[in-house]
Structure 1
Amino acid sequence: MTIRTIVVGGTSGIGYAIACRIAAASTSHTVLISGRTKPTNIPHPNIEFRPLDATSMRQIKSYTNTLKSSNPAPVLDFLVMSQGIMSTAPRTEVPGEGIDRKMALHYYGKQLLIKELLPLMSPTARVLIVYDGWLGSPEKLIWEDLDLKDPGRYSLKRAADHCTSMMDGMVQVWAREQERKGDEVKRSFVHAYPGGVNTDLLRDVVPSWLQGAVKTVGGVVLTSPDTCAERLLKGTEECVELGRAWSNIDNKGRVLKGKAVWTEEQMDKVATHTWETVDKALAGTG
């Protein structure tokens, strides 16, 4: 079967729930899930796993090159990216690439995946990025230090603000590039805010003796990954039906109103910075 859906970050949590839902509904094609560790349970025969360390631009490039050279090559209808990490570590660069690990996973790697997989996408493909489509704004950016190389400027909150905000900008950049191609391309780019979801992300920051209690409480007050997956998939389809080239949706799948429409100058600055940073990482000069 041909690969028509790729879910990066699909080995657990929201991404895994999304992959399982798509696989169950689309049994005639393969759903490829990728992440660091193969899930212990793959419940559908049309789910395939391939490992990927999505913090590394070089590993992402190798992964996409393999996909593009495969026979038959995928014809993608859907690219979902939900990879993420919750960590209190200070700025920690990916060895030889010069990008903070958290920012590489949450932002730069996702842009490289889109860029490299775009030639495989159908004219009506959907791209769903599960990160934080709610809180981003161009006003939160330090424009002269977008990748927060200056140690005096780096903080966990600022790194999150930059990734969230630049993601908003690039969603609009991708939509702009698509619209320039004319009516033959009708792809949709969606940046989603999942809200509080009962996943395993807290395992890296909560002491082991507290994890059982956190999991129990989370099951009561947080949304399940499957419910979140259902809402985000429904919201993405509604954006497609409305003909929206780009959208930000909330944890119910509703289009977020009042999101800033970026100026051409703002979009160009973020896009230029993104590709310069990624190119340096690929060349080992970051």
Structure 2
Amino acid sequence: MSIRALVVGGTGGIGFAMACRIAASSPPLSSIIISGRNKPADMPYANMEFRPLDATSMRQIKQYTTALKASGSPKLSLLVMTQGIMTMAGRTETAEGIDRKMALHYYGRQLLIRELLPILAEDARVILVYDGWLGSPNKLIWDDLGLKTHFSLTKASDHCMAMGDAMVQYWAARQLREGNTNTRHFVHAWPGGVNSGLLKEVLPWYLQAPARVLGRLVLTSPDACAERLLRGAEERAVEGREVGRFWSNIDNKGRLLRNKAVWTEEQMNRVADHTWETLDAALAGDQQTTLS
């Protein structure tokens, strides 16, 4: 049976390795879409296709998902989101008023899930690759979830980790509450140290060669990371279905992180409400521009 998968952030690093793994192991006639800013120079499998997407822009994500839904293709079996950036820059807002790092690591991912939910297969796997290990409700500044006034690189990371945790549980709880036959599984994955090339974005040129050597010695390859996360996500989904749990946090070996906090309904809803308010405000700005 063929599958359809979408890997956002799939143009390099972990995302590209995951897309290649999925493409190599998929049945004939499957379709693996990879999306990001620039098409990879090498598309090694015939069942891979590229669709451009600037995942920092909520408006572009909305246009992208609208077009994907209108294409009438089979439903998505896999939605994988690895888009990200490594930078030491402070708060850098997009034209929509969202910090660029948080747009990639959190907000854009939730918009993709929300908009693509109608075309996710009943047993789809949704995988967010960021940090499913260190997030906690205690790390949030609850009266400034978007970090408009309390921004720092550490807090931005804390908020993206924690809110990502909250939302995998939110989506799973919503599915149970709706009482339908869906068994979609939502995963927040911690990749660990991966030799993905992101250090080139923050290191000066004279440190990049030593970093490459060190990376090969102490970091996991993107391909090994991809294999572990995909295998772990599938195994956790099977286990979860047996006990009625439709979310998992996994480590860099694909193992279930069993000590993760279970968020209260109030906490999940506060994070979700903030997320939808932020996203809808960004999208409303596009409507205002169109109408003016």
Same fold (TM over 0.5): yes
| Separation of aligned partners in 2, 1:218 and 1:84 | 19
**Does the 8 Å CA contact 2:130/2:190 hold for their aligned counterparts?**
yes
Aligned twin of 1:63: 64
Deviations 1:165-218 (A, max 9, x none): 000001100001111232511000000000000001111100112111111110
Give the letter for the 2:56 counterpart. T
**Does the 8 Å CA contact 2:10/2:35 hold for their aligned counterparts?**
yes
Give the letter for the 1:269 counterpart. R
> Secondary structure of the equivalent of 2:51?
strand
Give the letter for the 1:99 counterpart. I
> 1:70-85 alignment to 2 at 5 Å?
70=71, 72-85=72-85
| Separation of aligned partners in 2, 1:276 and 1:147 | 11
| Separation of aligned partners in 2, 1:66 and 1:183 | 26
2:175 aligned residue (142, 167, 178):
178
**Does the 8 Å CA contact 1:175/1:246 hold for their aligned counterparts?**
yes
**Does the 8 Å CA contact 1:83/1:105 hold for their aligned counterparts?**
yes
| Separation of aligned partners in 1, 2:211 and 2:57 | 31
Give the letter for the 1:278 counterpart. L
| Separation of aligned partners in 2, 1:7 and 1:194 | 16
| Separation of aligned partners in 2, 1:36 and 1:267 | 31
Give yes or no for the alignment of 1:39 onto 2:40.
yes
Give yes or no for the alignment of 1:235 onto 2:232.
yes
> Secondary structure of the equivalent of 2:178?
coil
| Separation of aligned partners in 2, 1:201 and 1:163 | 18
> Secondary structure of the equivalent of 1:180?
helix
Runs of 5+ consecutive residues of structure 2 not aligned to the other structure = 287-292
| Separation of aligned partners in 2, 1:156 and 1:240 | 32
Aligned twin of 1:277: 278
Aligned twin of 2:211: 214
Deviations 1:56-87 (A, max 9, x none): 100000100110111x3341000000001001
| Separation of aligned partners in 2, 1:7 and 1:20 | 10
Give the letter for the 1:175 counterpart. A
Aligned twin of 2:290: none
TM-score for the superposition, normalised by structure 1: 0.96
Aligned twin of 2:115: 116
> 1:1-286 alignment to 2 at 5 Å?
4-26=4-26, 27-70=28-71, 72-95=72-95, 97-150=96-149, 153-182=150-179, 184-242=181-239, 243=241, 244-284=245-285
Deviations 1:141-167 (A, max 9, x none): 0000000001xx110000000010000
| Separation of aligned partners in 2, 1:182 and 1:233 | 27
Runs of 5+ consecutive residues of structure 1 not aligned to the other structure = none
The alignment covers a number of residue pairs equal to: 282
Identity across the alignment (%): 64
What is the alpha-carbon root mean square deviation over aligned residues? Answer: 1.5
| Separation of aligned partners in 2, 1:232 and 1:146 | 28
Give the letter for the 1:140 counterpart. K
Give the letter for the 1:281 counterpart. A
> Secondary structure of the equivalent of 1:119?
helix
| Separation of aligned partners in 1, 2:66 and 2:25 | 28
Give the letter for the 1:187 counterpart. R
Cα deviation, residue 122, structure 1: 0.8
